[in-house]
Amino acid sequence: MGARVLAVALVLAALAGCGGLFGGGPKTPPNLSEVKAELRDYHLSGRYAADVSAAIAEARRVLGRRAAPKPGQKLAIVLDVDETALSNMQAIQANDYGFIAAGPCALPQGPCGWDAWIARAEAPAMAPTLELAREAQAQRLALIFISHRSEKTRAATERNLQAAGYANWTGLVLRPDDSSAPNAAYKGPARCRLEAQGWTIVLNVGDQPSDVQGACQERHVLLPNPFYRVP
């Protein structure tokens, strides 16, 4: 009997060394279809909207603690555009939570090319952010957008922001068309150039960690965005 027990133990040990049979192998990333299903549920369940609202509520508390500008003082709030001021969820869903740069934009079935989507200028406002922008302007803070979008999209971006309800903004800073700098390396210096012009950025709001990295901002708030990452 002892020999049989020993033999079984040796077989089990050998099989365990094979890894996959007993789950001891290398950990693999989640299946892409499972990730997309999780993103779809996060969006459609309302949890994404609730998390955005919670983040904007914190931004509004920051504004509530900030004194109104004194005469001659130039205070501003900076907003990112995509998934901060505007929602591109129609295009994201049409592309099954993927990204397609070129080609036409067919909605709702997809595919939807990003350039064609921007040209349509139909992205709706992120409603909580629009409320934040209006509240900041009511407190006599300037509204300035700093976007990862390129300069060639200026006309369409301005048209879209206006159609979505944003008005009387002070500036829209876009990337040079020939720029390949990472987002953080572009946005930080862009804020500092505003500071050099006399602006104090009391609040910076974006959906990418790279939107809020760097200097030249008193406070920042990061909105949730598990759908894509801009380094």
Residue 6 confidence (pLDDT) above 60: no
170 with 149, same domain? yes
Shared domain for 101 and 52, answered yes or no, is no
> Are residues 222 and 155 part of one domain?
yes
The answer as to whether 80 is a domain residue is: yes
| Residue 24 pLDDT | 61
Same domain assignment for residues 166 and 92: no
Looking at the structure, do residues 100 and 181 belong to the same domain, yes or no? no
pLDDT digits (tens, 9 = 90+) for 54-89: 999 999 999 998 877 888 889 999 999 999 999 999
What mean pLDDT is predicted for residues 92-121?
95
Instruction: Tell me whether residue 1 is in a domain.
Output: no
Report pLDDT digits (tens) over 147-193.
999 999 999 999 999 999 999 999 999 999 988 888 888 999 999 99
CA-to-CA separations, 121 to 48, 93, 109, 125, 155, in angstroms, rounded: 23, 17, 18, 11, 9
**Is residue 152 in a domain?**
yes
Phi, psi of 165 (to 5 degrees): 115, -5
The single residue listed with the structure tokens 């060639």 is 152
Match 């890894």 to its residue by tokens: 19
Query: Is residue 231 domain-resident?
Result: no
Structural domain includes residue 39: yes
pLDDT for res 153? 97
Both 79 and 113 in one domain: the answer is: no
| Confidence category of residue 3, pLDDT binned at 50, 70, 90 | very low
The answer to the question of residue 14 being in a domain is: no
Do both 140 and 45 map to the same domain? yes
Phi-psi region of 198 (alpha: psi -120 to 50; beta: other; left: phi over 0): left
What does the pLDDT look like over 13-29, one tens digit per residue?
444 444 444 456 788 99
Angstrom CA distances, 196 to 24, 95, 211, 212, stand at: 56, 41, 19, 18
The closest of 135, 118, 44, 120 to 81, measured between CA atoms, is 118
For residue 156, which phi and psi values (nearest 5 degrees)? -65, -40
Co-location of 111 and 145 in the same domain: no
* Tally of structural domains, the chain: 2
Whether 99 and 165 share a structural domain: no
In a domain, 19, yes or no: no
What CATH number is associated with residue 221? 3.40.50.1000
Residues 217 and 183 in one domain: yes
pTM: 0.86
Residues 101 and 41 reside in one and the same domain: no
Containing domain of residue 204, as a range?
Answer: 33-66+74-87+125-226
Judge whether 24 lies within some domain. no
Same domain, 50 and 102: no
Tokens representing 179 are 């720029």
Average pLDDT value for the chain = 89
